[in-house]
């Protein structure tokens, strides 16, 4: 019964692959249908690779007992897809999902995919388009006032008091290719703000 269930899934993989479905999509559908008995993502990738090389049989072939090569086009594609789905994914989680060692995962990420893991760039505030437009309008107003001279100028200041939490450095790390720039993240996660104004002339 076990082999029958696997062959059914192999046939389903073959049909879905012929219809253009990705390995991740096939895996999700198998989990819905088979639950815990669904084939792993790495097995699905290997099946697709075999079909691409002309194999038509959906039966498991006898194994020689030799360990399979860890760094293959299939495992590289698997790692690339998993990282694209979650840029925060750790090498430990990748190793578990793909079924190879963390050392081989590191080799694929750094040597094959030319990726590195960097912290997001912290900035004081994330300005919305409305914030930017408001600053432009205020600057233009100040320039019009200054055209009449420096008399009757009132200056102001404000202090923002933030109550916030920040993510850990490790949680902010993301996988990036050599062509990608570091994404930005606001250093302060605002929950409440008090604004104090001091006016003098």
Bridge partners, 194 (sequence order): 161
Indicate if 134 and 79 belong to the same structural domain.
no
- Give residue-wise pLDDT tens across range 126-154: 678 888 899 899 888 878 877 776 666 66
DSSP strands (E only) in 24-146: 115-119, 121-123
pLDDT at 102: 86
The model carries a pTM of: 0.47
Asked whether 112 and 71 are in contact (CB, 8 A), the reply is yes
Domain boundary among 117, 138, 156: 117
Between the CA of residue 135 and those of 52, 60, 87, 156, what are the distances in Å? Answer: 57, 66, 34, 15
Please state the domain count of the chain: 2
Indicate if 105 and 146 belong to the same structural domain.
no
Indicate if 75 and 157 belong to the same structural domain.
no
- Give residue-wise pLDDT tens across range 34-48: 888 888 887 888 888
Indicate if 103 and 8 belong to the same structural domain.
yes
Whole-angstrom distance, CA of residue 49 vs CA of residue 96: 20
Indicate if 125 and 93 belong to the same structural domain.
no
Average model confidence (pLDDT) for the chain? 76
Indicate if 172 and 102 belong to the same structural domain.
no
pLDDT beyond 70 at 100: yes
pLDDT at 1: 40
Indicate if 105 and 168 belong to the same structural domain.
no
- Give residue-wise pLDDT tens across range 103-130: 889 889 988 888 888 887 777 666 788 8
What percent of the chain clears pLDDT 70, i.e. is strictly above it?
Answer: 71
Range of the domain at 25: 2-117
Indicate if 33 and 96 belong to the same structural domain.
yes
Domain boundary among 85, 117, 149: 117
- Give residue-wise pLDDT tens across range 161-186: 555 555 666 777 888 887 788 877 76
Indicate if 106 and 140 belong to the same structural domain.
no
pLDDT at 162: 55
Domain boundary among 117, 152, 168: 117
Indicate if 131 and 194 belong to the same structural domain.
yes
Indicate if 29 and 86 belong to the same structural domain.
yes
Indicate if 14 and 103 belong to the same structural domain.
yes
């Amino acid at each position: 019964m076990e082999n029958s269930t696997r062959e059914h899934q192999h046939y389903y993989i073959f049909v879905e692959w012929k219809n253009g479905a990705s390995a991740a999509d096939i895996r999700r559908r198998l989990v819905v249908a088979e639950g815990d008995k669904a084939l792993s993502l790495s097995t699905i990738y290997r099946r697709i690779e075999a079909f691409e090389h002309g194999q038509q049989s959906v039966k498991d072939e006898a194994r020689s007992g030799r360990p399979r090569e860890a760094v293959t086009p299939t495992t590289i594609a698997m790692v690339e897809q998993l990282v694209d789905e979650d840029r925060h994914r750790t090498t430990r989680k990748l190793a578990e999902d793909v079924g190879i060692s963390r050392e081989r995962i590191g080799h694929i990420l750094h040597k094959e995919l030319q990726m590195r893991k960097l912290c997001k760039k912290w900035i004081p505030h994330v300005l919305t388009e409305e914030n930017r437009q408001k600053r432009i309008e205020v600057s233009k107003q100040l320039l019009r006032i200054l055209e009449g001279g420096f008399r009757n100028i009132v200056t102001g200041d404000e202090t923002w008091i933030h109550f916030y939490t920040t993510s850990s450095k490790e949680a902010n790390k993301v996988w990036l290719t050599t062509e990608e720039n570091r994404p930005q993240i606001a250093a302060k996660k605002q929950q409440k703000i008090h604004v104090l104004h001091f006016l003098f002339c």
